Amino acid sequence: MNEQYTAAVYCGHEQIAKQEGKDVDALYTWMLTQVNGHFGDIHGTIVENSTQKTVRTFRKSAIE
């Protein structure tokens, strides 16, 4: 069965994690947990599979 959304986390241009699911909020929380221990240009997107439109994004920024 195909899931409604796909979440992906990137470090620069390299994908470091990917997860599919039906709940955008759960996928967003999952993305945030995947960035622990990673530094640099960390960002992620959640895409609706049927339309390929981005429904949510995040970018991790360094604490100054």
For residue 35, the model assigns a pLDDT of 81
Q: What is the full per-residue pLDDT of the chain (64 aa) written as tens digits?
A: 588 999 999 988 999 999 999 999 999 999 988 887 777 788 999 999 999 999 999 988 766 5
For residue 64, the model assigns a pLDDT of 59
- Rounded to two decimals, the pTM is 0.85
42-48/53-60 β-pairing: antiparallel
For residue 55, the model assigns a pLDDT of 97
Query: Can you read off the two tokens belonging to residue 23?
Result: 């709940």
**Within 10 Å of residue 15's Cβ, how many Cβ atoms?**
11
The span from the CA of 29 to the CA of 44, in Å, is 11
